[in-house]
Chains A and B, each alone.
Chain A
Amino acid sequence: MTITKIGVCGAGGTMGAGIALVAARAGMQTVCFDLSPDALARQRAAAQKFFGRSVDKGRMTQGDCDAALARMQDSSDLNDLADCDMVIEAIFENLDVKKDLFAKLNAICKPDTIFASNTSTLSITQIAGGCGREDRVVGMHFCLPAQVMKLIEMSRGINTSEEVFTAAWDWTETAGQIPVETQDKPGFILNALLVPFNNDVLRAIEAGLATPEDIDTAIKVGLGYKMGPCTLLELIGLDTQVLLGEAFFPSRWTPAPPFRRSAAAWWPPDVLGINRAKGC
């Protein structure tokens, strides 16, 4: 199966917009779907800026830039996704919302369209369940920012067909990404290792083990990490960390009750003045 036309749902958000850039840059016709035309307009401007910088840095020609932008079609009408070979959803991280979207798309899209979910914590099998084409649903978790980070965690649901998984896998490589295969389990690889680690960091702070600054220094110097976990948590957002933790089953992966209180007290919206990475 050859994939040449991609749909991205949630293309008005940071993650969806990045995925759309990956697809368009790789030569795919790309339908950028979002319910908010304003959000799509903002991402269109961001796309022009991103590709423009790529031209400035010599990574692509002006012709390639213009062609990539021309391949991106904005839409707030799901029907425009009807003839896509693959639709990648990067919408709100909620099982019911994602299931509802795939059920609607099943009624709209051609029979062989592949549905891919960018979920970071939810089960691909559960998202696919009841959509009407459970064998054509695959997990495709990009890293933020998708247009820069090459890694994609690929997972198959219980009913995903080998043909679909292979086609989606091949597409990621065609698009210049680097896929790794993981089982359909909460957090896949990256978040399954990172979220509990971050929760342990927060517990250590709450226990007064050390200052966040000293924890960052210890991890960077001791292990050679580029960024300390407290600084990373600042980028992820404590509110997002709570959501990620809550998506996992109760264990040490779950945010400690004191941290729920702290997250509420320590995280007034938009105080950072930096681009907070959502939906990692």
Chain B
Amino acid sequence: MVAAGRLGNKSGQGLLTGLTRQKATEAPGFTVLGHSANFDDLKGTGGDVTLHLGGGYAPDASKTAVLVELGSECLGQHTGEHMGQEGSNAVGFARYRNGSDAPSTLIEIVHQPNTSDAAIEAARAIFEVQGFDTVLCKDLAGRIVDRLVRPKYNDALRFLDEGLATAEDMDKTCCMGLGYPVGPLARVHSGGLAQHFEISKALHDMTGLPGYAPVRRAVVAKAAQTGGMAKAAE
């Protein structure tokens, strides 16, 4: 874990908060509705939490929490939003996976401004007891990982077009210089350039930020996929 309070922030001492969180060892019972390839082994035990897989959602105020599996969409698209005051017992979640790669153990838990603490804690506990690692984030486009990493993949793909270096040298630089297990170009190709296009486009549509705009190689891959042409680029 990171060292406590080296940079601090709220106290004016720095960036890291120094706050650490112990993983939950107990979780409330839950009922699973729907199906998702990301959670083949998740079996409900029955209880006060409803867990919607595959994008479904039905509000139920009688529950401690209603958990909604998210794709690239925001939780607000299911629950509705109003003047920044939205929030209930509905909590979003997504198991991170790089495109078509195998899913990771990371669960991004998504909350709204007025999501109840009990609902958030229930969500974290359910997934942590199942062996997942959870992080909590606001209901913003791309959540944490895709929000941060997709612009980097776009940069790497653009640099490749611009001739900055070979793909091999760019990946080697990141692996040797930054300790990445896989370079950004190998990673984005592994997950699929067409998948990257879809995720980047969704982020760009929601944020309007140029860093998310799908770059040429992703556009080409998506066009090849859509048009049924040979996917030589991948």
User: Chain A: residues with CB nearer than 8 A to chain B?
Assistant: 143, 149-151, 153, 178, 180-183, 185, 188-190, 192-194, 196-197, 200-201, 204-205, 207-219, 221-231, 233-234, 238, 251-252, 262, 265-268, 271-272, 274
User: Chain B: residues with CB nearer than 8 A to chain A?
Assistant: 1-2, 6-9, 12-17, 19-21, 96, 98, 104-106, 108, 133, 135-138, 140, 144-145, 147-149, 151-152, 155-156, 159, 162-166, 169-170, 172-174, 176-182, 184, 187, 209-211
* Residues B169 and A182 in contact, CB atoms below 8 Å apart: yes
9 further interface pairs, Cβ-Cβ under 8 Å (given A153-B173, A221-B104): A151-B177, A181-B166, A183-B165, A189-B169, A217-B106, A234-B7, A266-B8, A266-B12, A267-B7
A207 to B139, CA, bound (A): 11
Given contacts A185-B164, A192-B164, A218-B145, whether A205 and B15 have CB atoms under 8 Å apart is yes
Identify the 9 closest CB pairs spanning chains A and B, nearest first.
A214-B135, A180-B169, A218-B144, A151-B176, A210-B137, A221-B106, A222-B96, A226-B179, A224-B181
A226 CB to nearest B CB, Å: 4
Given contacts A204-B147, A271-B14, whether A217 and B135 have CB atoms under 8 Å apart is yes
Of B96, B135, B147, B176, the residue contacting A149 (CB under 8 A) is B176
* Residues A182 and B165 in contact, CB atoms below 8 Å apart: yes
Question: Which residues on the B side are within 8 Å of A151 (C-beta)?
Answer: 172-173, 176-177
Given contacts A266-B7, A266-B15, whether A197 and B135 have CB atoms under 8 Å apart is no
A262 CB to nearest B CB, Å: 8
A226 to B179, CA, bound (A): 6
B158 CB to nearest A CB, Å: 10
* Residues B17 and A192 in contact, CB atoms below 8 Å apart: no
Question: Which residues on the A side are within 8 Å of B169 (C-beta)?
Answer: 180-182, 189
Given contacts A151-B177, A189-B164, A214-B144, whether A266 and B13 have CB atoms under 8 Å apart is yes
* Residues B177 and A149 in contact, CB atoms below 8 Å apart: yes
**Could you name 13 residue pairs across A and B whose Cβ atoms are closer than 8 Å?**
A181-B166, A183-B164, A189-B165, A189-B173, A190-B173, A211-B19, A212-B17, A213-B17, A217-B106, A218-B96, A221-B135, A230-B15, A252-B151
Q: How many A-B residue pairs have CB under 8 A?
A: 185
Nearest B-chain residue to A232, judged by Cβ: B178
* Residues B170 and A189 in contact, CB atoms below 8 Å apart: yes
* Residues B151 and A200 in contact, CB atoms below 8 Å apart: yes
Question: Which residues on the B side are within 8 Å of A252 (C-beta)?
Answer: 151, 209-211
Nearest A-chain residue to B170, judged by Cβ: A189
Of A149, A228, A234, the residue contacting B6 (CB under 8 A) is A234
* Residues A210 and B15 in contact, CB atoms below 8 Å apart: no
* Residues B147 and A209 in contact, CB atoms below 8 Å apart: yes
* Residues A189 and B159 in contact, CB atoms below 8 Å apart: yes
* Residues B16 and A193 in contact, CB atoms below 8 Å apart: no
Of B9, B135, B173, B179, the residue contacting A180 (CB under 8 A) is B173
Of A189, A222, A272, the residue contacting B104 (CB under 8 A) is A222
Question: Which residues on the B side are within 8 Å of A182 (C-beta)?
Answer: 164-165, 169, 173
Question: Which residues on the B side are within 8 Å of A193 (C-beta)?
Answer: 152, 155-156, 159, 170, 174, 184
Question: Which residues on the A side are within 8 Å of B137 (C-beta)?
Answer: 209-210, 214, 218
Give the interface centre of A229, A251, A271 by most chain B CB atoms within 10 Å. Answer: A271
* Residues A211 and B17 in contact, CB atoms below 8 Å apart: yes
* Residues A267 and B136 in contact, CB atoms below 8 Å apart: no
A144 CB to nearest B CB, Å: 9
Nearest A-chain residue to B18, judged by Cβ: A213
Nearest A-chain residue to B153, judged by Cβ: A193
Question: Which residues on the B side are within 8 Å of A181 (C-beta)?
Answer: 165-166, 169
* Residues A229 and B164 in contact, CB atoms below 8 Å apart: no
Given contacts A197-B152, A201-B148, A209-B138, whether A190 and B178 have CB atoms under 8 Å apart is yes
* Residues A266 and B164 in contact, CB atoms below 8 Å apart: no
A271 to B6, CA, bound (A): 8
A230 to B148, CA, bound (A): 12
Nearest B-chain residue to A184, judged by Cβ: B164
* Residues A218 and B177 in contact, CB atoms below 8 Å apart: no
A38 to B105, CA, bound (A): 51
* Residues A218 and B135 in contact, CB atoms below 8 Å apart: yes
Question: Which residues on the B side are within 8 Å of A230 (C-beta)?
Answer: 2, 15-16
A214 to B134, CA, bound (A): 8
Nearest B-chain residue to A227, judged by Cβ: B179
A222 to B96, CA, bound (A): 6
A110 to B20, CA, bound (A): 58
Question: Which residues on the B side are within 8 Å of A238 (C-beta)?
Answer: 7, 15
